[in-house]
Amino acid sequence: MKSKTFEVIRILEDTYPNAHCALTNENPFQLLIATILSAQCTDERVNIVTQTLFKKYKTPLDFTLVPIEELEHDIYSTGFYKAKARNIQMCCSQLIERFGGEIPQTMEELHSLSGVGRKTANVVLGNAFGKNEGVTVDTHVTRICNLLGIVSSTNPEKIERELMEIVPQEKWTIFTHLIISHGRAVCIARRPKCSECVLSALCPSSKV
């Protein structure tokens, strides 16, 4: 399975040389907030919201000083806005109280923040700090890795463990971006373009 996974990565790296994190951000703090907002929401929608949001709120303190109803209004279109607003305010308070307003750079510390699960922590560590602590498992990764037959689960934690065994650690962060790029361009959930897929020869689910 490792050799097949290496070949998948090689092909996708050739196909999507510019694969990168789709969440627009200028610093680790913005990436953290954007990733919290991205739960059950498209990256495109988050980027629309943060374009205005990050002009209004520049620091953790800014987020803590605003009435929560106002913050809810500002992020309303990302969905689950009440929970997200609450988590963002609590997270920002914790950043100030425990980390001097800076974004921590370990899985354990990030995971201790409100609204920050392992997936969010992986995104921040990998993309803001270049630390490959794990593999970010989103819906694209779940679906496509199952179609390719390199994992056999729909449980994100189990999928991550399986991928960490077969994907080289230095590729953990980029692997997710490659899979997402392929999912958006070719392996589309409801209408996969199997005839155009560079992975069709490796994919047991291919309809070619």
H or E element: which one contains 76? none
In which region does residue 67 sit, left (phi positive, over 0), alpha (psi from -120 to 50) or beta (all else)?
A: beta
CB atoms within 10 A of CB 67: 9
Sign of the CA dihedral with 107 first, then 112, 116, and 119 last? positive
119 among known catalytic residues: yes
Closest CA to 124 of 13, 2, 199, 21: 21
- What tokens were used for 3? 């050799």
Given 138, 158, 193, 207, the catalytic residue: 138
CB 41 within 8 A of CB 23: no
Query: In angstroms, what CA-CA distances link 152 with 10, 146, 159, 190?
Result: 22, 6, 8, 20
The Cα–Cα gap between 144 and 31 comes to: 25
Given 74, 119, 131, 171, the catalytic residue: 119
- Active-site positions read 119, 138
